[in-house]
Amino acid sequence: MRILALLGLVVTVAACSDDVSDLQAFTEQVKNTTQPSIEPIPQVEKFESFEYSVSGMRSPFVEPEPELIEDKLGQTLDCLQPNYRRTKEPLEKFALDNIRMRGTMGGEDKIYALASASNGSLYRIGIGNYLGLFHGRVVKITPDYIQIEEMVPDGTGCWDIRKAEITILDAETDAGSKQK
């Protein structure tokens, strides 16, 4: 047992020698053969300044004059505008592409369309009801389609009328809405 302990001590002492010359030689060899690759510093483009002058424009920190506000309101009130005060109907949350006509009900004097929306609910639509995202009002209902007049912005603060139809679903095809 003592011999085994003495042999272990000799092996441990032999392993802790200070001879690192082979590691130093390898490090020197790597330093001599390796070239560092450093990217060159990018050239900075010369900055050309310019003077920004707004002498003829109104300051954004000062309220506009009352005459300018009245002129702007007068321009937008003279053209077609949607009624923002009316209560929105449930089908105005859906685009026309997400509304499908399923059928009609009623008689000769009063006809309603049955339509489903993308949320899976079934709705009864009459003439004068609103649907779609662009203030679409139902103007005609037939057994084959629902005719809608939508109000779309023209980019100048006014609105234009655009006609659209939602056709009834055929058993073989998935016909949806189309715009004219």
As a whole number of angstroms, the distance between CA 23 and CA 29 comes to 10
Domain presence at residue 95:
yes
Which of 120, 133, 123, 121 lies closest to 164 in space, CA to CA?
A: 133
- Look up residue 175 and give its amino acid: A
Domain presence at residue 66:
no
* Containing structural domain, residue 151: 90-179
Q: Supply the CATH number for residue 157's domain.
A: 2.30.30.830
Domain presence at residue 166:
yes
Q: Which of the four pLDDT bands, split at 50, 70 and 90, describes residue 75? A: low
Domain presence at residue 82:
no
Q: How many domains does the chain have?
A: 1
Q: Which residue has the tokens 């302990």?
A: 5
Domain presence at residue 67:
no
Convert the pLDDT of each residue in 136-157 to its tens digit.
999 999 889 999 999 988 877 7
Domain presence at residue 141:
yes
Q: Among 54-63, 71-80, 169-178, whose mean pLDDT is lowest?
A: 169-178
pLDDT of res. 139: 93
pLDDT of res. 147: 94
Domain presence at residue 42:
no
Q: Which residue has the tokens 């779309």?
A: 152
